[in-house]
Structures are given as C-alpha cells and as structure tokens.
Amino acid sequence: MTTSKFSVNFIRSDFPNLHIKVRGQPLTYLDNAATTLKPQVVIDTVNCHYSEGVSNIHRGVHYLSERATDAYEQSREKIRAFINAKSVKEIVFTRGTTESINLAAASYGRHFLKSGDEILISGMEHHSNIVPWQMLCEEKGCILKVIPLNQQGELEKGAFEKLLSDKTKIVSVVHISNSLGTINPIQNIIHKAHAKGAVVLVDAAQSISNDRINVQDLDCDFLAFSGHKLFGPTGTGVLYAKEALLEKMPPYQGGGDMISSVTFEETTYNQLPYKFEAGTPHIAGVIGLGAAIDYLNALDRQGAKKHKEDLLAYGTQKLLEIPGLILIGTAAKKAPVLSFTLPHIHPHDLGTLVDQEGVAIRTGHHCTQPVMRFFKIAATARASLAFYNTREDIDRLVAAVINAQKVFK
C-alpha cells in the first residue's frame, strides 16, 4: 500500500475481488464507472468498526461513542484535505452523488430561485443531474436549458456561452461523463458562469477517482461525489459547498443531530455541517471512506494516472480492430471509459456472453438516456477502467467480444 512507484501487480494484491473466479474463469472487472472494487484495508476498517467499535456518534459520552465519533470526524478532515476545501464545515456527508445534487437543488434552489430564472445543464448529464433540476423547475417556474453535444461526445463549441445569460442562476455540469468518458472544461465553465453571477455545481462522481481535484483552484460553489466510486463503501457521499452558501441555505431534512434545540414553539439548527446531516448516518461507511482516502494518498497517483492513460490508448486501439465495432464517445480529452456498439448484437446480449468468460462490463443506457437518443441508439456496452486493470484485461475483453460475434454469425 505504501510504494513510491506505481506497480499494477503490487496494487492488484490489495483488492481481494480481483482474485475470485466467475463461471470458472478469472474475473476481469471492467465496470469501474458503476462502482470500484474495495482494497482490503477498507474492508478491514469497516469490519473493525462493526466487530470492535460499533456505536452511534455525536451523542454518547461512553468510550465506544467517542471512539466512533473521532473516527467519523477524522474522515471528514481527510476528505477536506483530499479536495483542498477551506474548512470541514464545507464537507456534508450524504448517501452519494444523487443525494448531494438533490440536497443542493432542494435547499439552495428552492430558497434562492424564482419563476423565470434559468438553470443550465449539459446534454451528457446523468439522470441524477437532470431530474432534480426538472423537479425544481416544475415547482418554481424556472427554465431548464441544455448545452448540446457534437458527434464526438463533446460540448458543442460556443454553445455554453450562447446559452449563458443574466437569467442563469445555476450551472450544473458533469466533470467526466459516465457514458462517454468526456472530460469537460470545467474550470472555464465555472469562470464564465461566475462572470454572469451564476453558481456552479460540479458532478464529480467519475472525476473524483480519475485525477486530483482542488475545489479552491476550481472555485466551484458545489461539488458532489460518491464514496463507492472512490474505492470506499456504498451508501456514502459528499456534498462540498462554500461555507458562505451553506450558512444561507435552509436544512434539507429535519430530525436528530441537525438541531441545536427543539421546543414545540421553535427549533434552532445545529452549526455547519451538521445542519444538513439529519439522523444516524452510515457511520461505518464514512469511516471506511476515510480508509479509502488514506489508501489513495499512499498511492503513486501520477503513476496510476499514466497507467490509465496507457490502458485507454491500448483499449481504444484494440477495440477498433474488431470488425464493425463503433466507439460512442471519441472526445479529444477522455477518461478511461470505452462505450461501444456492434451491428446485430444488442449490448445486453453481448454483456451476457462476455460474462460467460469472466468479463464484467456494463450494458444499457447508463442513466444517460438523452445521450443515447442523441446518438440514435438504445444502449451501449461500456468497459470502464481503474488503475488495477491491465492490458491483459483488455485482451480478454476483446477476445470475448470476438467470440460473441462468432455466436451471432
């Protein structure tokens, strides 16, 4: 876990799932955009909490409660440092990216937006960055506008600037597309949106594990991500928001821990960030997420990034050698996501056949149905890569796809 130089073979030994067999074959796991595998240290940390330290947090004065609270809040500080937020007050724990976006839309949007205000998103958004804004528009009479795509799966040049106006109050854009792999020019988007007085939410579900994110350098107002795509437990997530915004926003939910005092006549709310964290959270998950952060901090992140760039180039080359295969998403700046279609083979059938050879890929619309409609397809097969993947994994995928073609011939 503590190597100064990246070694994929060394890294792979940290992930027990990589050593199982699927249908008698060694597992080739290429579904990292959906969820990443967990290193043993994360599994051990969660197990340790449940077996030796289980307790509720923030409320108890006994040893186990104090210990769990310390571990939980240490994770908050680890995440603050990981994304370089100014204060732990800016780190709100949620169940994942979806809840983080819903929190921002429900709390900030309902409080600050009015009829006629405009919300700007892109044509490559995940459903979780579309539906909450549609719900807000329906409730408040706001207008949702969409930045169109080009055939490479990039934002259409100049379209964002044309749509941006003095009426734009929120810009909510994905950093890296989960179905195309496109890396959006997020810093430029933030700069231009701020010049019009709009706040910006960044969906970092895919980008949080792809490269280092510095929220102060980006100057984003909100940033949302999930723990399970960052080699941590499921059911954990983060909404980063600037402290000044969180201070003005009303609570998202009511209940325990988000209050300072309650009477039947009046309730006063807790300080940040607890004002937005009602009820008992996923304590073990957040502690496990802290262990995942420790793991990544001990990793040669630059070496891991170069390794993924090599895998993307190699995978692109090898897949395009397959007769009839069409890549969906060919942006100049891409993360290691390879979505594709094959003539006469539905992606679901392809996914089932390659699974028979131990290869795990994702098939479907990937919660980006507008993207599928834009490319006039129903679904794609998607191979998404992490730093523990290898060229051999790609070779096994290619061989499995070719064998699937033989079946359909």
- Which helix H or strand E contains 260, and what residues bound it? strand 259-262
Cα 52 to Cα 47, 59, 74, 303, distances in angstroms: 8, 19, 18, 36
| Residue 145 exposed, middle or buried by CB count within 10 Å (0-12, 13-18, 19+) | middle
Asked if residues 58 and 77 have their Cβ atoms less than 8 Å apart, the reply is: no
Percent of the chain at pLDDT > 70 equals 99
String of DSSP letters for 152-212: TSSBPTTHHHHH--TTEEEEEEESB-TTT-BB--HHHHHHHHHHTT-EEEEE-TTGGGTS-
Mean pLDDT of 70-83: 98
Residue 1 pLDDT greater than 90, yes or no: no
Buried b (16+ CB within 10 A) or exposed e, 303-332: bbbebbeebbeebbebbeeeeebbbbbbbe
Active-site residues, by number, are 367
Retrieve residue 162's tokens.
């044309």
Buried b (16+ CB within 10 A) or exposed e, 153-169: bbbeeebbeeebeebbb
Percent of the chain at pLDDT > 90 equals 92
269 confidence band (pLDDT: 50, 70, 90): confident
Mean pLDDT of 92-107: 98
pLDDT in tens, 14-48: 999 999 999 999 999 999 999 999 999 999 999 99
The confidence score (pLDDT) of residue 409 equals 79
Domains of the chain: 8-30+300-408 (3.90.1150.10), 44-297 (3.40.640.10)
The confidence score (pLDDT) of residue 267 equals 87
pLDDT in tens, 294-330: 999 999 999 999 999 999 999 999 999 999 999 999 9
270 confidence band (pLDDT: 50, 70, 90): confident
pLDDT in tens, 139-181: 999 999 999 999 999 999 999 999 999 999 999 999 999 999 9
Mean pLDDT of 92-120: 97
73's CB contacts (< 8 A; 6+ apart) are 88
Q: Rounded mean pLDDT of the chain? A: 96
pLDDT in tens, 229-249: 999 999 999 999 999 999 999
